[in-house]
Structure 1
Amino acid sequence: MQTLVLVAHPHLADSTTQQFFKASLPSTGVTYRALTAQETYDAAREQAALRQADRIIFQFPLYWYAAPASLAQWEAAVLTRTFVYGDHRYPLADKELGVVVTTGMPAQAFRRGGTENVTIDALMAPLAALAHRAHMTWLPTLAVHQFNYLDEAQKLQLVVDYQRYLTQPAPDTLANRQAWFADRLPAMVAQLAPADRATGELIVTTMTQQQDDLEALMATLAMIKEQDDD
């Protein structure tokens, strides 16, 4: 799977959150692209990049309940009516569209009755509508609240969550999570210090066993369901 990450931020170099995300990118399968308000976009080139991607991610901080202007500028230049749906060919059909959004407010602020009195899903509705119009699959939004208040353990968890969001097949089922970890854990273990490698290898073995047990359980449940249907 090929993922295209489009980052909109007016002060990208000064953003500790965005620099953290950039440093956390997987080593393969992801193309990172920063959008700037001063850029003049080559629509054909941008559209070609979209055609080549399987998953497209818009990444930005929430500014007055919307994305920064550079994303809107990019959309106006690239997502023309003819390209998105006008010729009824839908070149983005069946691709996935997701959003990584950062906020300076706590998660509980984004709910009915909260400080913001609006949900993140409601704020992302225009982008969800775009996905629907283009016949794309809309992914659940990855919202990161108050990054600078996260401790080290929470930041480590965010690295994993972010990489899964970019590369793990949808939907976010237990089986897909286990397959994703099983695919990447050996490489992670190989990078550990020799003193920690035995523990890492034990984790890989345990995860593999759990995956085998899950597959056996799912097969058993399928057989039981077939008997119930009879």
Structure 2
Amino acid sequence: MQPSTRVSRPGRHRPAAVLLALLLACAPLVACSSASDDGPLSVPTYDPGAAASAEASESAAAASASASAAASAEAAGVVTAESLSDQELGYHMVSIPKDLTEAQIKALVDYVAYDQVTWRIWSTGQGIENLPAVATGDALVTIEQDARALNGLRLHPPLRVTITEVSVAEDGTYAELNSCSDRTQVTVTDADGNDITGPDYQGYAEYHVIMVPGPDGNWLTTAETTVSNDKCTAE
């Protein structure tokens, strides 16, 4: 029997509903320090339309590059924690299970593609249009809603991820995966660049993920349940 596809929203490294509520509620109550970088002394004329177009192009190109790198590693039969990392994005894969089958590797690679697309959204505000290629069902709806509710909130790397288990149903109807997010060094800023991280956000969180086959043969994440919001069994 296929497992329940319930989506759990609290605590993800992505700012899900509970995290958004936490940040928005605590922001007016804390003394925020500026986290913005010093800009150049002279600034060229700003063209909002051109800037938005450039950002969208850069986001699409970066997401495509990440997916291509993972796909190339998978095709070559060499999938390592390093090959699943994206240094530019600040997404670091710490470790993955050993001796995975070809089917498990495929599920792992497709999950990482999903995780990197969502991390790009939370850390840069870009790439929402890439979600349908990596997510479906309740997960897609939930993340799209959360992404549109960011209002300038940003999570800042490094994010460190450990995959502790990957399994694929014998009939190929679903895959399951356990993931640990180390967000001890992740910080949060508001739309003005003020640090509103708060003491409750930095730490470890563990998730159980369910994926289903997509129309193009890739695995799509359909549910993500929080197992623990303060520790990981792998830690």
- Superposed pair shares fold, TM > 0.5: no
TM-score (norm 1): 0.23
- TM-score, length-normalised on structure 2? 0.23
